[in-house]
Structure 1
Amino acid sequence: MSKLILVVDDERGVRDALKDILSDYGYQVECATNGREGLQKIQELNPAVVLLDIRMPEMDGIAVLEIINRTGQQVPIILMTAYGSTQTTIEAMKLGAFDYLTKPLQINELVSVLRKAVEVKQLIDNQVGDTNGRQQELEGDVMIGMSPAMQNVYKTIGRVANSNASVLIRGESGTGKELVAKAIHYHSVRKDRPFVKINCASIPESLLESELFGYEKGAFTGATTSKPGKFELAHRGTLFLDEIAEMKASLQAKLLRVLQEREIERVGGTETIKIDVRIISATNQELEKCIEEGTFREDLYYRLNVVEITLPPLRERKEDIPALVQHIISYSNREYKKHVQGVAEDAMKMLMAYNWPGNIRELKNVCERAVLMSTGPLITPADLPRNLQKSSRQFGWLSDLAGSSFKEIMAEVEREVIIRALEENNWNRSAAAQALKMNRSSLYAKMKELGIIE
């Protein structure tokens, strides 16, 4: 595990003091004298954590943090300043700072925060393994993101991984709940044991019991041999129950008994089998509402929900999109033998403006398609789906008008209305003018005025 700390501060005394102190705690320390040098060393050294001063000449810490966000660099940033203020703190945390410390630094506090940040960096760097411990980088199965919401997820994983506590992962479809379950397992003492998963929604009710608990020969028609269930296969490891809210009430009662007694019986069998399994479950439904409606047992809910992790939808962590996109591009290049280097600025604006109802799963689909469609080194707007382009035109351009004058805003509104009318009429100016209830010459003059044509 890397314990390299990069200190970015324009005061030599601060740099030297931190280097001496942190070296005594077993950290390797590198220093940068300003923001630009800090950005360069982040790229070169891939430090575990960056201690970044806010007040620096030329480029302050907030500007450095903004650039790190845009480039998608995955590193926890701890900001330092002697001029603490509520506004600065809010701005820093909005930009994804891991933490915020006020000078003079308290050594115990600094070391505690550093230790947590290093654990988060380890979670980011470690590729999630499969049941044999093999890394799955080639499948693209890693957690990406340094937004405050994702940092909270990493911290919770770090706190609970080594316990045997049951974990309930909540979040919309496509947010990466299985990745979190894998991360918990592969950072736990059970990491060398099986990680077994089952989707409760994809297996018919009549078969789910035998899939979970196994069956004996002759238990039902077609049971010509005995077969162990998922619980037995996950012995001393982790069992991931996805879509847990879809489990029927009769089976919920049997699952509750297993969690209480730590033993199972195969379907058609009489022998009890002791099991040692950690349970991680996931759902995209409101279990509290299911309890009220009588479709989910309240006692089972409390058994499963010892620790809860809620994954944010992608629309609430858009600052992570550049890093996610770059990761998907790298994966897609290997998968499809392409050589796409990145995303053009106007295409990235579209990706950032879209609300991603399908979350990361939808983003992955869009980016893989764009890599396949791209004919150049960069993904352009033309490589993106039409619905995404339309959504961007409807909403994305509004965020670029902050601070503009009323005249500038109205000009942009006119431009968007005209472009949309032209596109809906296949750029036939006469038809577009008719749709806009204006004559063709007036439309032509307005197009020239707004820069739509030269």
Structure 2
Amino acid sequence: MFGRSQAMQRLFEKMRCTAAHFRVATIEGEPGTGKTVAAQTLHAQCRETCTQLRAGATVHLAGAGPDVPAPEPLFLACAAAPALATLDALFEEANGGTLYLSRTSELSPGEQRQWLDIVEHFERHRSRNGTKAMPRQLLFGTCEPLRRLTAAASFRTDLAHRLTAIRFALPPLRERREDISLLVEVLLERVRATHSKPVRGLAPGTLNRLLAHTWPGNVRELETVLFNAALDCISEWIRPIDLPPITWPTSQRMHSAGTALPHPGSLSEATPDHPAACGSGQDLDPDLDRAILRHVTRVLGRVGGNKLRAAHLLGISRSTLYRLLESGHLQSGR
């Protein structure tokens, strides 16, 4: 896990203080915030579980010093998926380690009742230091805060109290925008290592576009956007035009005077059928998506719709040009 923001630093500090001591805990966060990575980080911090070593990933806890090998075993499962009849086998396989169970908020009422019995049995057994094969720690992942679900009467209160006595809340990316530049560095290094693509970083203007987005898909969405842009760009620097289309929130598509602007994916005002859109009034539009697509439309018009020549003049690959045309619903002859 990586982060410089205060929200992430508080999370890291809580992980350091509690990782070696809890028996049952919950990791809460929106989809894409990195709950599985958080489980791996907690597991890596708990050095006391290092009774077995397997070939595994290295997990970095920002601010905690150099990378440390993650102690194994760490087992991942879905709380709603495994048949409870096979739970003993799952516990035996995760004996002495950490068992991470995802999608806890999706448990049915019957499954919640069964898990309440299992957690109670687990806590009694661990307190007695029994000989039965069992994980040392249970981690439950959920996209929705369990305490909020109890308020809506959709989750058992007694089970939620047991699971959230220790709770790690992962902040969404929109609440820690200061971490985006660091995450970009980490993700691009991963691109260079895994795909041998010599991408050095972001060109001017690209980071501002990333910072303006609200990232409803969180870090997973940022990773997808950067990977697509890095693999598709033709230079060593990712330019704004190299980024795949991003769905911008309505609040960011409002004119300063209060009038709504068209969605950047709907570029009817920039097509040859609407030439007035290329006038000076539209040039004042601060939206980068629309400015880029208006320029692409002008260049296509100059070359008679020839996509190959337009891509050459724009300094982009044909695949990038096609992607821009598809996002704007533009059509051209060749």
Same fold (TM over 0.5): yes
* Pick aligned residue for 1:424 from 258, 264, 268: 268
Cα RMSD for the two superposed structures: 3.6
Uncovered stretches (5+) of structure 2, i.e. residues with no partner:
51-70, 125-130, 296-334
- Residues 351 and 421 from structure 1, CA distance in 2 versus in 1: closer, same or farther, beyond 3 angstroms? closer
Deviation of 1:291 (Å) = 2.6
Deviation of 1:334 (Å) = 2.0
Deviation of 1:276 (Å) = 4.6
Partner of 2:61: none
Deviations 1:118-158 (A, max 9, x none): xxxxxxxxxxxxxxxxxxxxxxxxx1111000001100000
Contact 2:146–2:164, Cα closer than 8 Å, also in 1: no
* 1:248 counterpart = 2:108: yes
Contact 2:199–2:237, Cα closer than 8 Å, also in 1: yes
* Pick aligned residue for 1:158 from 16, 19, 24: 16
- Residues 397 and 371 from structure 1, CA distance in 2 versus in 1: closer, same or farther, beyond 3 angstroms? farther
Deviation of 1:251 (Å) = 3.0
2-structure distance, mates of 1:394, 1:289: 27
Deviation of 1:348 (Å) = 1.1
Partner of 1:372: 231
- Residues 260 and 420 from structure 1, CA distance in 2 versus in 1: closer, same or farther, beyond 3 angstroms? closer
Deviation of 1:392 (Å) = 8.8
* 1:233 counterpart = 2:93: yes
Deviation of 1:335 (Å) = 1.8
Deviations 1:208-255 (A, max 9, x none): 313423xxxxxxxxxxxxxx2x21111111111111122233333333
- Residues 211 and 370 from structure 1, CA distance in 2 versus in 1: closer, same or farther, beyond 3 angstroms? farther
Task: Give aligned-pair identity as a percent.
Answer: 28
Deviation of 1:444 (Å) = 5.5
2-structure distance, mates of 1:282, 1:338: 34
Uncovered stretches (5+) of structure 1, i.e. residues with no partner:
1-142, 214-227, 265-271, 399-408
Greater Rg, structure 1 or structure 2? 1
Contact 2:268–2:274, Cα closer than 8 Å, also in 1: no
Deviation of 1:445 (Å) = 8.8
- Residues 336 and 211 from structure 1, CA distance in 2 versus in 1: closer, same or farther, beyond 3 angstroms? farther
Query: What is the TM-score normalised by the length of structure 2?
Result: 0.67
Which has the higher relative contact order, 1 or 2, with Cα contacts under 8 A spaced 6 or more apart?
2
* 1:210 counterpart = 2:74: no
Deviation of 1:261 (Å) = 2.7
* 1:196 counterpart = 2:54: no
Partner of 1:216: none
- Residues 190 and 447 from structure 1, CA distance in 2 versus in 1: closer, same or farther, beyond 3 angstroms? closer
Contact 2:77–2:102, Cα closer than 8 Å, also in 1: yes
Contact 2:214–2:249, Cα closer than 8 Å, also in 1: no
Contact 2:49–2:136, Cα closer than 8 Å, also in 1: no
2-structure distance, mates of 1:380, 1:290: 42
2-structure distance, mates of 1:173, 1:421: 24
Deviations 1:189-219 (A, max 9, x none): 1144411111235x3xxx5313423xxxxxx
2-structure distance, mates of 1:299, 1:420: 47
Secondary structure in 2 matching 1:164? coil
* 1:179 counterpart = 2:179: no
Partner of 1:217: none
Deviation of 1:426 (Å) = 3.9
> What one-letter code is carried by the residue in structure 2 that aligns with 1:364?
E
* Pick aligned residue for 1:324 from 166, 172, 183: 183
Number of aligned residues: 261
1-structure distance, mates of 2:218, 2:154: 27
Secondary structure in 2 matching 1:351? helix
Contact 2:5–2:179, Cα closer than 8 Å, also in 1: yes
Deviation of 1:180 (Å) = 1.2
- Residues 248 and 273 from structure 1, CA distance in 2 versus in 1: closer, same or farther, beyond 3 angstroms? farther
Deviation of 1:177 (Å) = 1.1
